């Protein structure tokens, strides 16, 4: 009985949904604030993401005629559920809900589900902008996903395990994977930017080109869930990167470990924000070219090095 209660508590509060929700809003705020500071502005107050979320929940929910209503209602939930589930396998400060051999694959799969949901949302919501945005999202998915997968395969091969917590734990004594596989980290970082559709890869939702992309026709609750799923995805993606490449919490569950983990996460977030403000948005064909001509070969080289030298 106590096991069930603690399991429920784990999933709902820490490091489950409640914790992720708070983290997502906090990271989103930090990101906006840092971006604003770099641009010479002040940025939103700390409660801003929460206010936005509540306001959207309380707004009217409309869809245009011709949109697939059930799918449009379901897709944001699928997207959110996928990233929340992925989070259960990723150690946070050394603490993980469930871990098994091969959960890295599951995590990667769950993290790419939102991209498909995003594409379908664009395709099914009966607006030209969202259709264009959706097809761009799909093209972009193919450009970043392969290098991203290969970059994350490197550490797994090195450690000899496909479990996120093992990979994270294996670095506690020795070197961070970042130092062993710098190219892999850079590729995974770039892949993450693509995954999160952040500037300079915010191609599917390019404001000045196609409105809000696939989300153009969404409003109210659905939009709130979409935003939340993207914000949670940011958090989960950063956790994953920290665990796989930056040594996680440094082994074990301790206060210093958790603090260290938090600091590393914030550093990755800062890096994401800085990359976001430094560059102009690329065009989808430029991203595809970059993905296949530069990133994929580099990932291949990194993998070969790992297999030949490390393995």
Partner 1 sequence: MSRRSSLAHLLPELVRTLFARRATVRFPSEPPVLAEAYRGRGVVHAELCVGCGLCVRDCPAFALELEREGRHRFRLVHFEDRCAYCGQCVDSCRQDAIALVSEFPRASPCRTAFTRVLVTHEASEE
Partner 2 sequence: MKGAGTVGAIIRWARRRSPWVLHFNSGGCNGCDIEIVDTLTPRFDVERLGILKESSPRHADILLCTGPVTRQSRARLRRIYEQIPAPKWVVAVGGCSCSGGIFRGGYNVLGGIDQVLPVDIYIPGCPSRPEAIIEGILQLLETIE
Partner 3 sequence: MSRITIPIGPQHPALKEPLSFLLTVEGERIVESALRIGYVHRGLERLFQDRSYVQNVHIAERVCGICSHIHTTAYCQGVEALLGLEVPRRALYVRTLLCELERIHSHLLWLGVLAEHIGFTTVFMYAWRDREIVLDIMEDLSGGRVAHAVNAIGGVRIDIENDHIPAIHARLDELERQMEMFLGVIQHERTFQARTRGVGCLTQEQVQRYCVVGPVARASGVAMDIRRDQPYAVYDELSFRVITADEGDVWARTMVRALEIVESMGMCRQLLDKLPEGPLASRAPRRVPAGLVISRCEAPRGELLYVIRSDGSDRPARVKIRTPTLPTLATLKDQLRGVHTADVPTILAGVDLCIACADR
Say whether residue 131 binds partner 3 (CB under 8 A): yes
Say whether residue 37 binds partner 1 (CB under 8 A): yes
Q: In the numeric block, which tokens belong to residue 188?
A: 């995974």
Nearer to partner 3, 68 or 281 (CB): 281
Say whether residue 46 binds partner 2 (CB under 8 A): no
Nearer to partner 3, 39 or 256 (CB): 39
Q: Which of 1, 3, 4, 40 binds partner 1 (CB under 8 A)?
A: 40
* 221: helix, strand or coil: helix
Residue with the two structure tokens 């400060």: 93
Say whether residue 39 binds partner 1 (CB under 8 A): yes
Site track for partner 1 across 178-207, x = CB under 8 A: ------------------------------
CB of 230 to partner 1, least distance (A): 25
Q: Residue 30: phi, psi to the nearest 5?
A: -60, -45
Classify each residue of 25-38 as buried b or exposed e, where b means 16 or more C-beta atoms within 10 Å of its C-beta.
bbbbbbbbbbbeee
Say whether residue 60 binds partner 2 (CB under 8 A): yes
CA distance linking residue 218 with residue 278, whole number of Å: 30
Q: Which of 5, 154, 165, 177 is nearest to 88 (CA)?
A: 165
Q: In the numeric block, which tokens belong to residue 8?
A: 């429920």
C-beta separation of 258 from 93 below 8 A: yes
CB of 46 to partner 1, least distance (A): 17
Say whether residue 274 binds partner 1 (CB under 8 A): yes
Say whether residue 254 binds partner 2 (CB under 8 A): no
Nearer to partner 1, 176 or 201 (CB): 201
Strand segments, DSSP code E, in the chain are none
CA distance linking residue 306 with residue 137, whole number of Å: 31
C-beta separation of 164 from 177 below 8 A: no
Say whether residue 202 binds partner 3 (CB under 8 A): yes
Say whether residue 30 binds partner 2 (CB under 8 A): no
Residues 208-237 that bind partner 3 (CB under 8 A): 208-211
CA distance linking residue 23 with residue 27, whole number of Å: 6
Nearer to partner 3, 107 or 210 (CB): 210
Q: Which of 9, 12, 55, 270 binds partner 2 (CB under 8 A)?
A: 55
CA distance linking residue 83 with residue 129, whole number of Å: 26
Name 95's bridge partners: 92
Where does this chain touch partner 3 (CB under 8 A) — which range of 79-87, 155-163, 274-282, 301-309? 274-282
Where does this chain touch partner 3 (CB under 8 A) — which range of 80-88, 150-158, 201-209, 230-238? 201-209
Where does this chain touch partner 3 (CB under 8 A) — which range of 5-13, 81-89, 115-123, 272-280? 272-280
CA-to-CA separations, 78 to 114, 120, 200, 224, in angstroms, rounded: 7, 11, 26, 14
Say whether residue 173 binds partner 2 (CB under 8 A): no
Q: In the numeric block, which tokens belong to residue 82?
A: 């996928």
Binding interface with partner 1 (CB under 8 A) = 37-42, 274, 277-278
């Amino acid at each position: 009985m106590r096991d069930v209660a603690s399991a429920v508590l784990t999933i709902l509060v820490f490091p489950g949904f409640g914790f992720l929700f708070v983290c997502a809003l906090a990271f989103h705020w930090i990101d906006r604030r840092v971006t604003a500071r770099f641009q010479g502005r002040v940025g939103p107050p700390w409660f801003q993401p929460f206010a936005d979320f509540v306001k959207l929940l309380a707004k009217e929910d409309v869809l245009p005629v011709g949109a697939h209503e059930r799918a449009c209602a379901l897709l944001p939930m699928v997207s959110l559920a996928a990233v929340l589930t992925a989070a259960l396998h990723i150690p946070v400060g050394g603490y993980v809900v469930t871990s098994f051999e091969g959960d890295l694959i599951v995590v990667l799969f769950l993290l790419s589900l939102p991209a498909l949901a995003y594409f379908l949302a664009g395709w099914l919501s009966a607006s030209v902008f969202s259709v264009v945005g959706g097809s761009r999202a799909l093209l972009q998915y193919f450009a970043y996903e392969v290098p991203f997968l290969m970059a994350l395969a490197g550490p797994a091969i090195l450690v000899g395990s496909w479990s996120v917590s093992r990979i994270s734990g294996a670095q506690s004594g020795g070197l961070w994977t970042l130092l062993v596989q710098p190219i892999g980290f850079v590729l995974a970082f770039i892949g993450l930017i693509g995954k999160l559709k952040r500037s300079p890869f915010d191609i599917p939702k390019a404001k000045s080109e196609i409105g809000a992309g696939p989300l153009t026709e969404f409003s109210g609750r659905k939009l709130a869930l979409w935003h939340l799923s993207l914000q949670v995805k940011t958090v989960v993606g950063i956790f994953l990167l920290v665990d796989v490449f930056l040594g996680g919490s440094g082994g074990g569950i301790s206060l210093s470990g958790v603090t260290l983990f938090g600091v590393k996460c914030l550093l990755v977030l800062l890096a994401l924000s800085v990359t976001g403000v430094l560059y102009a948005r690329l065009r989808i064909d430029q991203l595809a070219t970059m993905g296949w001509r530069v990133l994929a070969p580099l990932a291949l080289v990194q993998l070969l090095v790992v297999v030949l030298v490390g393995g």
